[in-house]
A = this chain, B = another copy of it.
Amino acid sequence: MRQPFLGTHINKIDAKGRVSVPAAFRQVLAEDAFAGVVCFPSFTSEALEGCAMGFMNEISNSVAERYELFSNDQEDLSDLIFAESATLAWDSNGRIQLPPEMIAFARLEGTAAFVGMGKTFRIWEPETLARSQAERRAQAREKGLSLRLRSAGPESRPDSRPESAS
């Protein structure tokens, strides 16, 4: 069982283009055999998507099994993911080096915000992130999304008490 990626960590990109992957994320990623990260440009945001190698495998398998991770339309996306993703091994200090295209895509300049998203994480230019979050928060409030959190996944809650219902 893999722990989720949690929290937001802002790190610097040094002159050589290196960034420390937050220790907390490295710990999560350490459950994977590959000592590093897989990155690809996000489809929906001006940010990079990051995950463990194992997650890529899941995507690959899910698509093959037609598991419901992707809808039909989204299957095409998997092709894109694999094509545009890069495997970034970290050095002995836990730093990775982002390829120039990715730096450009997310418009990173000097700092990078690593944002936990559960099964994946994102890498943002901090200012862009702030703007995006404000927007998202407004939307969520509008839709009342936060309320649904409470009942998230009623079928998969192992600790709901079977106590002879209602």
Which chain A residues have a beta carbon within 8 Å of chain B's beta carbons? Answer: 1-8, 24, 34, 38, 43-45, 53-54, 56-66, 68-87, 115-119, 133, 136-137, 139-140, 143, 145-146, 148-161, 163-166
Is A151 in contact with B163, judged by CB distance below 8 angstroms? yes
Which B residue's beta carbon lies closest to that of A101? Answer: B8
Contacts of A150 in B (CB 8 A): 155, 157, 166
Which B residue's beta carbon lies closest to that of A73? Answer: B145
Instruction: Choose from B4, B84, B85, B139 the contact partner of A56 (Cβ within 8 Å).
Output: B4
**Docked pose: A73 CA to B142 CA in angstroms:** 12
Is A77 in contact with B70, judged by CB distance below 8 angstroms? yes
Is A139 in contact with B7, judged by CB distance below 8 angstroms? no
Contacts of A24 in B (CB 8 A): 87
When all copies of this chain in the complex are counted, the total is 2
**Docked pose: A53 CA to B164 CA in angstroms:** 27
Which B residue's beta carbon lies closest to that of A33? Answer: B1
Is A80 in contact with B146, judged by CB distance below 8 angstroms? yes
Sample (17) of A-B pairs whose CB atoms are under 8 Å apart: A1-B57, A1-B159, A4-B60, A7-B83, A44-B75, A45-B75, A58-B152, A68-B68, A69-B69, A75-B136, A76-B136, A77-B149, A80-B136, A81-B149, A82-B117, A82-B118, A150-B166
Is B118 in contact with A7, judged by CB distance below 8 angstroms? no
Output the least CB separation between A78 and chain B (Å).
Answer: 4
Is A119 in contact with B57, judged by CB distance below 8 angstroms? no
- Knowing A87-B24, A161-B1 are in contact, say whether A79-B119 is a contact too (CB < 8 A): no
Per CB-CB distance, the 4 closest pairs between chain A and chain B, nearest first, are A62-B153, A60-B118, A78-B117, A62-B152
